[in-house]
Chain A
Amino acid sequence: MILLLLVPLAWGYLLATRLLRESQRWLRWSLAYALGLLSFLAGVNALFHFLPLRHSVYLTLLVLAAGSVFLLATASRRTASRPLGPFAGPILTILALTAFFEALFWQMQWSDDDFYGHAPLMALFLRNVFPPQNPYFPTLPFGHYGRDLAIAALSVLVGERFLAVQYFVTAANQAAAVFIVHGTARRFLRSQSQALWAVLFAFAGVNFVGRRGLLETFQNNNAFAFLFLFVSLYLFLTALARRSVTLTILSGLAFGTFALIYETSYGLLAIAFAVFPVVLCALRRRWRLRYFTITTGILLLSAALALVQGGTLSELAKRRVSGRSAEIAQSAEERHGAHDPRIRIPKPGFTITAGLTGEEYPLWNWHIVEDAGAFVPLLPLTTFLMGWWRKPWGLLVGSLSSAAVLVPAGVDFGSLNSESLRFLIVGGVGAAMLFGVSLGIAWDLASRRGQWTRWVVVAGLVCVAGVAFWPSTRVALEVIRRAVRYPRDHYLVAEEWACARALKGRYCEPIDVSAAVLLRPVIRKGERVLVDFRHDDAAILMSAQAIFSTIARAPLAGATLRALPEGNASRMVPFVDGEGFRARAFFATGEVGLLDDLGVSYVYLNPEAAAPGVYRRIQQDPRLERVLHLEWPGGGAVREAYRVKPAMTSLASIAPEGLSVISVDPPPRMLAGRVYPVRLVLSGIGRPGPTAVRLSYEIRHPDGKLETWTDEVRLPVDLQPAGPRRWIGTLWLATPLEVGDHDVSIYGWDGNTRVPLRGPDGRTAIFRLRVA
């Protein structure tokens, strides 16, 4: 099965040799890998809309194999080969090997930065969940998913070990990107040394947002985004140079597929491509229609693909056409989650929003060096030099880099403004490459001068390079040193890694991993699991949930967390519960009706964490069937899972019309994120004996902002008579995560109609609670 991986590689190789007629050997192989991977992704994505993943993978391989045979039989062969130079060859080999192994060893230890979002998505793809579904918030659509789909689909050929596939594919992307950047620059700059300096500065010479060059920027989508950004640059320039319709179509399709991987880089490239024909004509002082037609063809084809294939752009187009935008994303936080910003041009103030703090700063602020690297302030100068030295490649990269810096300042993306780093990193890499090319030009000029001049320039450049490359070299050496020193801490098997990653004493339980493995064959597509992971630290809680979701391959329900954007900052803000109110209410009461509201199929719990009475109720409830009881040998840890059976009869309860709240008696001291019994005295039911009513509650900040906007806890409340037309009941109240004062209003339910309960004064009953 693993040998089938050669099919996309063969197809990519034939594209690189027969269609692109690439003569540089290493570039050819790197393109073979990249184009094979991109074609595989495009095919699987197209078919996955109609077929299960496994079928999509095999059918795509069949199509690629047929295409390979066709190319083999029809396209002409080119045998000329241009090897790398005597310096460039070994230096690039070391850089590519370092890029590969640094990415590999780092991932074998830590897997990913945003494991929380990416790994469960890949796991759900393997359950044929498509279009992609947010593993924690099923109502929120997912944005770009190309990288995760490519990895999940490839893992079908290697026993679905998708994390191991991710490690090797990401590492291979890094190595391939080294050769593609170098090969493209070498071709279009016509200089070995300029190309070498460009790639060295891109990978090892630029420091941004705490990362040292592209060598250290491979986590999440980055390795895919940069690899295919460089591939798109190569294809665009090649299509312009060759004037071939086939290459224009190939470039358009490849560029369109790139939109599935990273729409921000796609947008930046589209701007740079659109500008480039004008720049090129100005540079050559001659207007050539074909520059415009080829560029238009590539952009139109890619846009057509990007708008229908799936992902963020397709989703936006779909909403725009159907006018669903307003109904899907009412609030700022929903728009943020749904990648549905309200875009305004120009952005007031022409400032960039800092990624981590949400602070606004102008383009000339020193902050931009922290976010995009030290070479961005030099960008106007280096771009001017590219024009002066008539370097179209340099001007294209300069346009890309400039667009990457100007777009976050000029376009207001609303709550997504703090995603500015996605743009600025591209700007920083482009600026670093231009700086490298400028040094390469100096090197080339010096090599034509006398010996002394040459040595002085060489010494100066070596010093600059030493200073620029040292931070990334040090990090790379540290990663390798750790691999030598702690080989046991480097994992390829997800189940072995899952808990080992956590620091000692952190919240990760091997028994949860084992339970997730056992539940994997039990849970079916479309079923959600209510989990009961509890922790004060949001990062630890999210990590535990992500590991469980990834290994069980199931979407979760429960106290999942989501960022609540406030103004510009979407990252450093308090978290709010996803469905935590209902989840907490269930684990505090065992009331199965809550599970129907949550739409979950399984409950996973740690019996030790449940109150004895609640655990007994869960065990005895006829609607809950135990499907897992796992005991860890020695130490007594236990986990259980229950299947939720559908309700046979609807709950008998009285209509709440006419009910009013006489008094509410909460406990004197309540803690945040807990559940407490609140004693209610109601009046207005003229019926004898005990009865029940279905109640829910809304919790608001004192300023009126709704806190339970993701959640509504509906509970049956047993009522006991307490005098003429008076009743006493207990409402289990889940307190919010935020401490302070909150206003609670109570509602009754008549079928699916919500009726506010009135107070003795006839107005909606609201009581204030304080949580500590």
Chain B
Amino acid sequence: MFLALLTLPASPQAAEPQGLELTILDAPTEVPAFSSFYVRVRLVNTGAGPLRGCLIELGKMISKEPCVFLGYRFWKTPTRFKVDSVDPLQILQHSDILGPGESLERSVRLVSPRQSRTGTLHLYAIGGRPDALAWVHQSLPITVGPAPFEVRRREVVTLALVGVYLLGVAWALLRLARNLSRIWRYP
């Protein structure tokens, strides 16, 4: 697939970009629903200090020192620029350091939404001090096609198994009710 995709300026809602530069180098334009795909990006630390990979747990920032991570969101830009308003991607390990002026190129793995649709993928490089993160935005037009056969097969199999369970329980409850009513009538 081909490269250097449409890159738009940072979203007006985002905080002023500081010390980070994000470029999308390669990404697919069409992906199946509920599947993994890769986007290749370049990240440059244009700030004055080094950045580590951010530690994020359950949507909360754990890191105490300047750090960086990527986040993405399909279709709509987040209304609040909080860590839990995007799906985080670790581009750098916590123990790795991206020094001032240094850059790195990585293929990062994203997961497409469950439903088919055409729209925009919003990708963010989020970095800086944990209490004042800067959000650098890039967007990418993308079409999410129908889910692959395996996904639909999983749906059918799981729902069929649930059906068997519910039928079995219903049958047992019916028997229990019948036996109870029989005992009630003829104690």
Contact = CB atoms under 8 A, between A and B. Distances in A.
A510 B36 contact: yes
Given A484-B159, A487-B158, A492-B154, A636 B169 contact: no
Given A90-B179, A487-B154, A101 B161 contact: yes
Contacts of A535: 93
B34 interface: yes
B147 A488 contact: yes
Given A93-B168, A488-B155, A608-B105, A105 B36 contact: no
Contacts of B155: 487-488
Interface in A627-674: 632-638, 671-674
A575 to B, nearest CB: 14
A673 B154 contact: no
Contacts of B28: 633-635
B37 A634 contact: yes
A509 interface: yes
Nearest to A496: B150
A633 B40 CA distance: 11
Interface string A107-144: 01000000000000000000000000000000000000
B106 to A, nearest CB: 7
Interface residues of B, number: 54
Contacts of A104: 161
Nearest to A102: B165
Question: What DSSP secondary structure best describes chain B's contact surface?
Answer: mixed
A87 B176 contact: yes
Contact of B38 (A487, A493, A632): A632
A496 B26 CA distance: 25
Nearest to B166: A480
B1 A534 contact: no
B129 interface: no
B27 interface: yes
Interface residues of A, number: 47
B102 to A, nearest CB: 14
Interface string B14-55: 000000000001111001001011111000000000000101
A179 to B, nearest CB: 14
A637 B150 contact: no
A761 interface: no
B95 A636 contact: no
B126 to A, nearest CB: 12
Interface in A492-543: 492-493, 496, 499, 504-505, 507-511, 534-536
Among A87, A480, A632: residue with most chain B CB under 10 A: A632
Contact of A89 (B53, B169, B175): B175
Contact of B1 (A105, A108, A480, A633): A633
A483 interface: yes
B117 interface: no
B154 A94 contact: no
Contacts of B88: 504-505
Nearest to A674: B95
A86 B169 contact: no
A635 B87 contact: no
Nearest to A499: B36
A535 B91 CA distance: 11
A499 B154 CA distance: 15
A534 B93 contact: yes
B38 A97 contact: no
B64 interface: no
A483 B1 contact: no
Interface in B72-120: 87-90, 93-95, 97, 105-109, 111, 114
A491 interface: yes
B37 A635 contact: yes
B150 A91 contact: no
Interface in B1-18: 1
Contacts of A90: 172-173, 175-176, 179
Interface string A223-253: 0000000000000000000000000000000
Nearest to B150: A496
Among A101, A492, A634, A673: residue with most chain B CB under 10 A: A634
B157 A97 contact: no
A336 interface: no
Given A487-B155, A488-B34, A94 B173 contact: yes
Nearest to B90: A505
A247 B155 CA distance: 47
A635 B107 contact: yes
Nearest to A669: B97
A97 B114 contact: no
A91 B38 contact: no
Contacts of B182: 86
B183 interface: yes
Among B36, B53, B89, B156: residue with most chain A CB under 10 A: B36
A86 B179 contact: yes
Among B56, B147, B159, B161: residue with most chain A CB under 10 A: B161
Given A93-B168, A493-B150, A86 B109 contact: no
Contact of A93 (B26, B97, B162, B172): B172
A186 interface: no
B151 interface: yes
B87 A483 contact: no
Contacts of B107: 608, 632, 635-638
5 contacts: A87-B176, A90-B179, A101-B161, A101-B162, A488-B34
Given A101-B161, A635-B40, A671-B95, 10 more contacts: A90-B176, A97-B165, A98-B169, A487-B157, A536-B55, A536-B94, A632-B38, A634-B1, A634-B37, A637-B40
In the A-B complex, the 7 residue pairs with the closest CB atoms? A635-B38, A634-B28, A634-B1, A86-B179, A487-B158, A90-B176, A637-B107
